[in-house]
Amino acid sequence: MPGPPWWYGRFQDAGYRLTLPRQAILGTLSRTSKHLSAEEIYLSVHRAYPAVGLTTVYRTLELLVRLGIISKFDFGDGRSRYELTTSRQRKHHHHLICSRCGRVIDYTDFIDEETEVLGKIERVLSQKYNFRINNHRLHFYGLCDKCK
């Protein structure tokens, strides 16, 4: 699937420049399936572009979250973690988190009831509490095979 990544348009539309640091950060995020922290992204980008600073990484991450290109998570280890938002490439998924070692597993094998019930709840809550619901997060916590 060649051609410019889907986020080029977002930058233009919003009036932001797709600079080299920003491309490098997006590159790192699109090349991994892990949930990277700001520092991990910085270290990765820094290898190829030593001039890019940690401050720019933080600023860019904030911008990307604001543009809806990436999502920010807190898995309880004291730092924020990021991943590309749901798109053609990346399917909507939920998380399985090990409380001991911090391992995070993405799962997309939803059983039908899961999707169905979440949709229903979303509709009911929207009406009852007069909310405009944009998204949801479902996390399961426990011990992974190595930790239990």
* 106 touching Mn ion, by CB under 5 A: yes
40 binds Mn ion, rule: CB under 5 A: no
Pick from 72, 53, 73, 55: nearest CA to 64: 72
By the rule CB under 5 A, 97 interacts with Zn ion: no
- Extract long-range pairs of 51-57: CB within 8 Å, 24+ residues apart: 52/20, 52/21, 52/24, 56/21, 57/21, 57/25
CB of 122 to a second copy, least distance (A): 7
Closest to 67 measured CA to CA, from 17, 131, 126, 2: 17
Q: Which of a second copy, Mn ion, Zn ion, none interacts with 101 (beta carbon under 5 to 8 A by kind)?
A: Zn ion
Which residues partner with 94 through β-bridges? 107
CB 6, min distance to a second copy, A: 22
What residues make contact with a second copy under the rule CB under 8 A? 74, 76, 96, 98-99, 105, 107, 109-111, 113-114, 117, 120-122, 124-126, 128-145, 148
